[in-house]
Amino acid sequence: MASVLPNSREQTISWFTERIDEWAAKASAIGLTAAQVTELATRLAAAEASFDTAVASRIASKNATVNFYNDTDDLKSYGADLIKVIKAFAESSDDPSVYATASVPPPAPPTPAGAPPQPTELTATLMPGGSLRLGWKGTVSQSAYFSIFRKAEGETSFTMLDSTDEKFFEDSSIPAGANTVVYYIQARRDEFRVDSNWFQVSFGATGATSIALAA
């Protein structure tokens, strides 16, 4: 029998469905009684009905799962909006007890941002009016900014020229007659200070600039 009947339940139903009418018409010719064929038809009908019920149940289960997902997503979205309202109320009223009353955890204190990265890839471009445009790479995220320091030829210490949250600065106050100037960029955030490497700009006779890292 195992070599005749299909393995799957659905195919078994199809197999008997294809033969039941012919077996009923030719029962005696194939060695069966009418009662046996009638019982087979009854069991086939029961299997078909159960299969239809199972298919309907799977469809209903799938639809119910989709509805469950949609409803819980909607609940989560709306509930999240209400939690935002609760938090905003706690902040605006300056009343931390609101969080405990609502059983909502208060916001965690902000994590300190730490030191900003070192400014890198320093460049200098001589502008037509004689000023020097400085550029560099760095970050201004989380309130970071930059201070520009310069030491001209003949000076013994650096002077801070300005602070900016841009990644460029135009120096228009280079002392007249200076053949070289040395710069460094300092990245700042809160109490942190991170200096770039020093870089020296030399002015040639034609007014062109050459740049080299200063020791």
Note whether 183 and 131 are same-domain residues: yes
Note whether 82 and 128 are same-domain residues: no
Q: Between helices 34-92 and 9-17, what is the axis angle to 10°?
A: 140
Note whether 136 and 208 are same-domain residues: yes
Note whether 78 and 139 are same-domain residues: no
CATH code, 140: 2.60.40.10
Do the beta carbons of residue 5 and residue 19 sit within 8 Å?
no
- 78 — pLDDT class (breaks 50, 70, 90): very high
Is the pLDDT at 88 greater than 80? The verdict is: yes
Render pLDDT for 2-31 as a digit per residue (tens, 0 to 9): 568 988 999 999 999 999 999 999 999 999
Burial class (CB in 10 A: 0-12, 13-18, 19+), 43: exposed
Look at residue 146 in the predicted model and tell me its pLDDT.
Answer: 97
- Domain containing residue 208: 120-213
Q: Which pTM value belongs to this model?
A: 0.52
Give the C-alpha separation, 156 to 113, whole Å: 34
Domain count, the chain: 2
Note whether 16 and 81 are same-domain residues: yes
Residue 77 domain flag: yes
Do the beta carbons of residue 25 and residue 4 sit within 8 Å?
no
